[in-house]
Amino acid sequence: MFKAVLITTSNIPFKLEPDIPEEVKGKLRWAERNYQFHKEKADSLKAQMKQQESAGIFGIYPKYLPKQMKEEQDHARYFLEAKKSLMRQIEERMKNYFLIKENLFAAALLFYIYTNPYDDAHTAIKEIEARRYSAKMEITKTYFVRCSDVKDPMIVF
Average pLDDT of the chain to the nearest whole number: 77
Q: Is 32 left (phi over 0), alpha (psi -120 to 50) or beta?
A: alpha
Phi, psi (deg, nearest 5) at residue 140: -60, -45
pLDDT tens-digit profile of 85-118?
A: 999 999 888 887 776 665 664 455 445 555 567 7
Whether residue 1 is predicted with pLDDT greater than 60 in this model: the reply is: no
HSE, CB side, 13 Å, CA atoms: give it for residue 43.
7
What pLDDT band is residue 153 in, cutting at 50, 70 and 90? low
Phi, psi (deg, nearest 5) at residue 98: -70, -30
Whether residue 70 is predicted with pLDDT greater than 50 in this model: the reply is: yes
* Structural domain count of the chain: 1
Peptide bond connecting 62 to the previous residue in cis, omega within 30 degrees of 0: yes
Taking the C-alpha atoms of residue 17 and residue 108, their distance in angstroms, rounded to an integer, is 15
* 3-state SS track over the chain: CECCEEECCCCCCEEEEECCCHHHHHHHHHHHHHHHHHHHHHHHHHHHHHHHHHCCCCCCCCCCHHHHHHHHHHHHHHHHHHHHHHHHHHHHHHHHHHHHHHHHHHHHHCCCEECCCECCHHHHHHHHHHHHHHHHHHHHHHHCEEEEECCCCEEEC
Global pTM reads: 0.57
pLDDT tens-digit profile of 30-66?
A: 999 999 999 999 999 999 988 888 887 777 788 888 8
What is the percent of the chain where pLDDT is above 70? 69
**Domain extent at residue 65:** 5-156
pLDDT confidence of residue 25: 93
- Average pLDDT in the 129-133 region? 77
